[in-house]
Structure 1
Amino acid sequence: MSDAEQQAAFDVLFQRGIQTRRTVLGDPYVDRQLAKGSSEFARPAQEYVTRNAWDGLWGRPGLELKHRSLVVITVLAVGGHNQELAGHTKGALRNGLTEVEIREAMLQIMGYAGFPVGLNAFRVVEAAIEEYKAEQAAEAAGGEAKAEGSKPEAK
Structure 2
Amino acid sequence: MAVNYTPEEVQKAREVIRNEGIKMRYKVAGKEYVDRALKAANNDFARSMQEYVSEACWGSIWTRPGLELKTRSLLNLAMLCALNRSAELATHCKGALTNGASEVEIREVILQAACYCGMPAGMEGFRVTGKAIEEWKKEQEAKGTGVEEHTDIGLDQRLKDDE
Range into which the TM-score falls when normalised by the shorter chain: 0.7 to 0.9
Q: Could you tell me which runs of 5 or more consecutive residues in structure 1 were left unpaired when the two chains were aligned.
A: 142-155
Report matched runs for 1:1-40 at 5 Å: 1-40=5-44
Tell me how far 1:5 sits from its aligned partner.
2.2
| Structure with the largest fraction of helix | 1
CA distance in 2, matches of 1:5, 1:45: 22
| Correspondences of 1:1-155 after superposition (within 5 Å) | 1-140=5-144
Runs (4 or more) in structure 1 with deviation over 4 Å come to none
CA RMSD of aligned residues (A): 1.1
For normalisation by structure 1, the TM-score amounts to 0.87
Letter in 1 for 2:16: V
Aligned amino acid, residue 50 of structure 1: S
Distance in 1 (alpha carbons) for counterparts of 2:13 and 2:105: 37
- The separation in 1 between residues aligned to 2:85 and 2:72, in whole angstroms, is 17
How far 1:13 moved relative to its partner? 0.6
Give secondary structure in 2 for the equivalent of 1:121: helix
Bigger Rg, structure 1 or 2? 1
Query: What amino acid maps onto 1:83 in structure 2?
Result: A
| Structure 2 counterpart SS, 1:41 | helix
| Unmatched segments (≥5 aa) in structure 2 | 146-163
Shift of 1:6: 2.1
Residue 2 of structure 1, CA deviation? 3.0
Displacement of 1:97 in angstroms is: 0.3
**Deviations 1:97-130 (Å, cap 9, x if unpaired)?**
0000000111111111111110000000001001
> Which residue number corresponds to residue 149 of structure 1?
none
The residue type paired with residue 94 of structure 1 is T
Count of residue pairs the alignment pairs up: 141
SS in 2 for 1:58: coil
